[in-house]
């Protein structure tokens, strides 16, 4: 397998321009996420450089831009809060260890080739989870927007403190935050082609804070990022606590799953824009190595970023050289121009983060979910509420459980329709079987034959077992029973056990058993259950018609002998 991502000079100009543009957009986002997480602006910058570098080098999507994202930042913020509360001295070190373990899990996903399965989650759960994260990001950034540090307690702490903050709003910082938010929301599309709105908000807000606000709001200082360490980041030694190791593992697994889903969904978007096909497992390897490196050097966790990827493609990026260019440009900022970001107001970054939260919310599906499916809408709303007010892991776990239970119930109902009993004395359904010939119908409608057919169709997983069991008492009245599996390509363990029960009880009641049209997989499974010894080999017949005729002739021969 190719080790490195697709890197060549065929699209040199487009890759360079795309990478520089993506870096311009990434800078304010990285700063905003670093400050919002509580790890510091430098953590956002380190994450943007390292994740982008390693994912571009070793990933499987040439145009994907990887960096700290809103969903990953929200989850990581909760990780920092919980670990710092449990262990103030080592909490931050354990948080970065969680990021390292996140990368290890993603590498493991790649080695096990789980890429194709990672995104196989109900859309209602994904939509609810992402929307819930968007609401969390908005709520926890409202205090910084108004001029205050985020209070402890996460969402509930921010909501309870909001009335006080609003009553004592700091006009200077609130003006900066609202201005940046207004630029992001209202900037005309034609201007966005010349300058990214995030960069404009960052530059305009910083210049106003330095030169204008002191004149308008005399004596009111604003909260800035402050000193950002320059040069190489320090190595973070993996740190575990006996009391917190289980929490670290679970949090890392949640981050790994979220980051993998986020990255692979963005890869699908990149494929649609470039008419290419990404390598899911290779992409997970790149994401894992990126997060491992980011955690080792004190950076935020990240994933494929939709905004950066789309901008990269639209401005000419076609190979992984664009991602490498972006990482190089951000590296220059980190290692040589970190002093330039020190006066940036935190309120401006809060406005940028709130806009990210607004974009994460799945407004399109929120507006029409109830029209598509009431049950699906309730699942989505429930996941949103649990994500915001309870716990991220609980939200996904309960959402998946409920969604899968409803899906299983629907599948069971559908599979029940593929289980039919034909030939009972009080039934008029002799034609209710695919491709039934006139002779088949005549045999099934003649009560003197005593022949009943259990007709199964479609792939039969455990949902069909209940329907088979439900017919069991009626089948015991048959003198000859034909079990037609000619329309069954696959039979699950639970359904095969239900068929075994029917066969053994029918034989005990003196009924002759015949299998018709049994395919390779169903035959192997039924034989492994020992039915080859219960039903003679001569009674395993290739097609339905021959099985019905054989049942009639055997019955007639038995009558003559009697």
At 225, the pLDDT band (50, 70, 90 cuts) reads confident
- Sheet of 419-422: strand order equals 419-422, 451-457, 480-487, 512-516, 540-541
By CB atoms closer than 10 A (0-12, 13-18, 19+), residue 114 is middle
**Whole-number pLDDT of residue 297:** 95
- Residue pair 69/265 in contact (Cβ under 8 Å)? The answer is no
The arithmetic mean of pLDDT across residues 15-25, rounded, is 89
**Whole-number pLDDT of residue 311:** 86
At 294, the pLDDT band (50, 70, 90 cuts) reads very high
- Confidence check: pLDDT of 363 > 50: yes
- Residue pair 273/96 in contact (Cβ under 8 Å)? The answer is no
DSSP secondary structure string, 44-96? HHHHHHHHHHHHHHH-S-TT--EE--HHHHHHHHHHHHHHHHH-TTTHHHHHH
The arithmetic mean of pLDDT across residues 373-399, rounded, is 87
**Whole-number pLDDT of residue 425:** 63
- Confidence check: pLDDT of 559 > 80: no
DSSP secondary structure string, 531-548? HHHHS-GGGEESSHHHHH
Backbone φ, ψ for residue 278 (5° rounding): -85, 165
- Residue pair 317/22 in contact (Cβ under 8 Å)? The answer is yes
- Confidence check: pLDDT of 437 > 90: no
Three-class SS state of 513: strand
The pairing of strands 512-516 and 419-422 is unpaired
- Confidence check: pLDDT of 192 > 70: yes
Three-class SS state of 420: strand
Share of the chain above pLDDT 70, in %: 95
- Confidence check: pLDDT of 389 > 50: yes
By CB atoms closer than 10 A (0-12, 13-18, 19+), residue 435 is exposed
**Whole-number pLDDT of residue 429:** 47
**Whole-number pLDDT of residue 219:** 60
**Whole-number pLDDT of residue 431:** 46
At 2, the pLDDT band (50, 70, 90 cuts) reads low
- Highest averaged pLDDT of the listed ranges 101-105, 173-177, 504-508: 101-105
The arithmetic mean of pLDDT across residues 338-354, rounded, is 87
**Whole-number pLDDT of residue 229:** 77
DSSP secondary structure string, 279-316? -HHHHHHHHHHHHHHHHHTT----EE-HHHHHHHHHTT
- Residue pair 213/172 in contact (Cβ under 8 Å)? The answer is yes
**Whole-number pLDDT of residue 435:** 62
The arithmetic mean of pLDDT across residues 70-87, rounded, is 91
- Residue pair 48/26 in contact (Cβ under 8 Å)? The answer is yes
Q: What is the mean pLDDT of the chain?
A: 87
User: Would you give the DSSP letter of residue 194?
Assistant: T
User: Lowest mean pLDDT: which of 118-132, 162-176, 321-335, 492-506?
Assistant: 118-132
The arithmetic mean of pLDDT across residues 302-312, rounded, is 90
pTM exceeding the 0.75 threshold for the entire prediction: yes
Nearest to 72, CA basis, from 257, 337, 221? 257
At 226, the pLDDT band (50, 70, 90 cuts) reads confident
The arithmetic mean of pLDDT across residues 80-94, rounded, is 91
At 321, the pLDDT band (50, 70, 90 cuts) reads very high
By CB atoms closer than 10 A (0-12, 13-18, 19+), residue 10 is exposed
The pairing of strands 451-457 and 419-422 is antiparallel
The arithmetic mean of pLDDT across residues 231-244, rounded, is 83
User: Lowest mean pLDDT: which of 38-42, 97-101, 363-367, 448-452?
Assistant: 448-452
The arithmetic mean of pLDDT across residues 404-413, rounded, is 78
- Confidence check: pLDDT of 428 > 50: no
| Ramachandran assignment for 517, one of left (phi > 0), alpha (psi -120 to 50 degrees), beta (any other) | left
- Confidence check: pLDDT of 440 > 80: no
């Amino acid at each position: 397998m190719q080790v490195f991502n697709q890197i060549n000079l065929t699209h040199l100009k487009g890759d360079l321009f795309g990478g520089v543009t993506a870096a311009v957009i990434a800078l304010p986002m990285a700063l905003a996420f670093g400050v919002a997480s509580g790890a510091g602006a430098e953590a956002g910058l380190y994450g943007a450089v390292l994740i982008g570098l390693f994912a571009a080098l070793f990933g499987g999507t040439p145009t994907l831009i990887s960096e700290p994202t809103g969903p990953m930042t929200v989850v990581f913020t909760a990780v920092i809060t919980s670990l710092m509360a449990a262990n103030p001295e080592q909490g931050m070190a354990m948080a970065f260890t969680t990021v390292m373990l996140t990368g290890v899990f993603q590498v493991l996903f790649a080695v096990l080739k789980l890429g194709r399965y990672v995104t196989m989650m109900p859309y209602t759960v994904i939509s609810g989870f992402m929307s819930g994260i968007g609401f969390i990001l908005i709520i926890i950034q409202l205090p910084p927007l108004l001029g205050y540090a985020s209070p402890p307690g996460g969402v509930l702490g921010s909501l309870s403190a909001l009335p006080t903050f609003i009553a004592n709003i700091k006009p200077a910082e609130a003006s900066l935050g609202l201005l940046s938010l207004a630029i992001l929301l209202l900037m005309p599309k034609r201007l966005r082609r010349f300058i990214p709105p995030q960069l404009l908000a960052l530059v305009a807000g910083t210049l106003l804070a330095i030169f204008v606000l002191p004149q308008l709001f005399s004596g009111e200082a604003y909260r800035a990022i402050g000193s950002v360490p320059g040069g190489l980041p320090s190595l973070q030694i993996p740190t575990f606590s006996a009391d917190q190791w289980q929490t670290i593992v679970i949090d890392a697994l949640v981050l790994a799953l979220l980051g993998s889903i986020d990255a692979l969904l963005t890869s699908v978007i990149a494929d649609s824009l470039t008419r290419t096909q990404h390598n899911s497992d290779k992409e997970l390897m790149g994401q894992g190595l990126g997060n491992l490196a980011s955690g080792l050097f004190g950076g935020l966790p990240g994933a494929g970023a939709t905004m950066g990827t789309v901008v990269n493609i639209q401005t000419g990026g076609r190979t992984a050289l664009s991602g490498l260019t972006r990482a190089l440009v951000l590296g220059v900022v980190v290692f040589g121009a970190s002093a330039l970001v020190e006066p940036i107001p935190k309120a401006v970054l809060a406005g940028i983060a709130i806009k990210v939260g607004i974009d994460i919310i799945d407004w399109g599906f929120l507006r029409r979910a109830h029209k598509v499916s009431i049950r699906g809408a309730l699942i989505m709303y429930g996941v949103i509420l649990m994500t915001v007010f309870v716990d991220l892991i609980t939200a996904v776990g309960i959402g998946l459980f409920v969604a899968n239970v409803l899906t299983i119930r629907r599948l069971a109902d559908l599979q029940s329709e593929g289980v039919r009993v034909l030939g009972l004395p009080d039934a008029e359904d002799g034609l209710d079987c695919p491709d039934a010939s006139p002779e088949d119908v005549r045999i099934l409608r003649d009560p003197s034959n005593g022949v009943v057919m259990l007709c199964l169709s479609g792939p039969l997983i455990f949902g069909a077992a209940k329907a088979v069991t439900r017919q069991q008492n009626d089948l015991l009245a048959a003198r000859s029973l034909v079990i037609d599996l000619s329309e069954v390509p696959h039979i699950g363990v639970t359904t095969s056990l239900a068929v075994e029960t029917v066969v053994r009880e029918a034989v005990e009641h003196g009924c002759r058993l015949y299998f018709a049209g049994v395919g390779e997989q169903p035959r192997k499974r039924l034989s492994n259950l020992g039915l080859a010894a219960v039903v003679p080999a001569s009674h395993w017949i290739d097609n339905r018609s021959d099985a019905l005729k054989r049942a009639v002739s055997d019955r007639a021969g038995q009558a003559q002998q009697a």
